[in-house]
């Protein structure tokens, strides 16, 4: 039995059956156990499971024979996520959130043009509530997906670039390690610091140390006086480009991007 010849409605019904059975199993199961519980053969189970992984509904887990978990549920035996140290006050939190849209606007405009992107898509991924996206430091604040073309090279080059956005009160080397955690599934990773002009002198030694660490790990670093003005963005370190495992890249897109963004990205590769 396979998905060939099945309508979208029939496929959705099969997906619902798998999700329902997984919920009965507390949101986590080995592949073999789940397949047996459903009574499905290989030709039915694996295509349905893979579709749900690609949609970001399921997350693959390490186990004998492999396992899957519902994305919104914590699988048994997995450590609880480490809680981030809260910022100094609620006002500071609000200031960080207020950076997202101005930064995203520049990324879509001047920054994308400067980097020669032919197509780009910018998603603010920080505000996903309690959704489980894979553990501590796996969720960046912002992601840019882009296509580049070059005159003397054939084909399209796909980039998936993550950003950690930090306000002036949070300029710290820890941001480099947060960005480094994203490199498993991104071609480039950046830290973006808001540092008003009047604070640059006071932060100089601190930023110099962060530059050294960013260069050592291949993490890009941008220091900006004004989030909405690209002329104030100082790219202190260029991010090293890597080629992540396509499985991790695909999973990252499934978990981090909105449905609308995923539809747009799917259209790019058709």
CB 222 within 8 A of CB 192: yes
Q: What is the pLDDT of residue 10?
A: 87
Same fold, 8-70 and 90-268: no
Q: What is the pLDDT of residue 73?
A: 46
Could you read off the pLDDT tens digit of each residue along the chain, which spans 270 residues?
Answer: 467 778 888 888 999 999 999 999 989 999 989 999 999 998 899 889 988 888 888 888 877 778 899 886 444 444 444 334 444 555 555 478 899 999 999 999 989 988 889 899 999 988 654 444 444 456 899 999 999 988 788 888 999 999 999 999 999 999 999 999 988 899 999 999 999 999 999 999 999 999 999 999 999 999 999 999 999 999 999 999 999 999 999 889 988 888 888 888 888 877
Helices (H), 117-230: 174-182, 200-217
Residue 252 has a CB neighbour count (10 Å cut-off) of 25
Q: What is the pLDDT of residue 91?
A: 53
Q: What is the pLDDT of residue 224?
A: 95
What are the Cα distances from residue 147, in Å, to 112, 188, 260, 261?
10, 13, 18, 14
Nearest partner of 146 among 50, 259, 241, judged by Cα: 241
Beta strand spans in the chain (E): 28-30, 58-61, 67-70, 117-124, 142-148, 157-166, 188-194, 220-224, 233-237
Q: What is the CATH number of domain 8-70?
A: 1.10.10.10
SS (HEC) of 53-82:
HHCCCEEEECCCCCEEEECCCCCCCCCCCC
In 3-state terms, what secondary structure has residue 124? strand
- 90-268: CATH topology is Trna Endonuclease; Chain: A, domain 1 (3.40.1350)
* Burial of 225 from C-beta contacts in 10 A (0-12 / 13-18 / 19+): middle
Domain ranges of the chain: 8-70, 90-268
CA neighbours within 13 Å on the CB side: how many for 233? 21
In 3-state terms, what secondary structure has residue 144? strand
Q: Please state, in angstroms and rounded to a whole number, the distance separating the CA atoms of residues 144 and 107.
A: 8
Q: What letters, b where the CB count within 10 A reaches 16 and e where it falls short, cover 72-94?
A: eebbeeeeeeeeeeeeeeeeeee
Residue written as tokens 């499934």? 254
Residue written as tokens 């992107």? 117
What are the Cα distances from residue 44, in Å, to 173, 239, 251?
48, 42, 21
- Give bridge partners of residue 80 from the DSSP assignment: none
């Amino acid at each position: 039995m396979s998905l060939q010849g099945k309508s979208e409605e029939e496929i959705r019904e099969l997906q619902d059956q798998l999700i329902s059975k997984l919920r009965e199993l507390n949101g986590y199961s080995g592949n073999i156990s789940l397949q047996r519980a459903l009574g499905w053969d290989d030709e039915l189970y694996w295509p349905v499971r893979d579709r749900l992984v690609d949609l970001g509904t399921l997350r693959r887990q390490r186990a004998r024979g492999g396992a899957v978990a519902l994305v919104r549920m914590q699988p048994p035996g997995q450590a609880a996520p480490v809680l981030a140290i809260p910022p100094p006050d609620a006002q500071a939190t609000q200031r960080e959130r207020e950076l997202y849209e101005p930064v995203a606007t520049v990324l879509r405009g001047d920054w994308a043009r400067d980097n020669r992107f032919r197509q780009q898509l910018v998603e603010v991924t920080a505000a996903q509530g309690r959704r489980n996206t894979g553990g501590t430091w796996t969720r960046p604040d912002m992601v840019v997906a882009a296509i580049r073309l070059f005159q003397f090279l054939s084909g399209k080059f796909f980039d998936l670039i993550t950003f950690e956005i930090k306000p002036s009160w949070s300029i710290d080397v820890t941001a480099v390690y947060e960005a480094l955690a994203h490199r498993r599934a991104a071609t480039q990773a950046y830290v973006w610091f808001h540092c008003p002009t009047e604070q640059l002198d006071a932060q100089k030694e601190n930023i110099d140390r962060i530059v050294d660490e960013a260069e050592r790990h291949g993490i890009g670093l941008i220091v900006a006086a004004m989030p909405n003005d690209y002329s104030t963005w100082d790219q202190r370190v260029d991010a090293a480009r890597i080629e992540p495992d396509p499985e991790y890249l695909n999973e990252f897109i499934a978990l981090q991007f909105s449905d609308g963004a995923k539809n747009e990205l799917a259209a790019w590769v058709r």
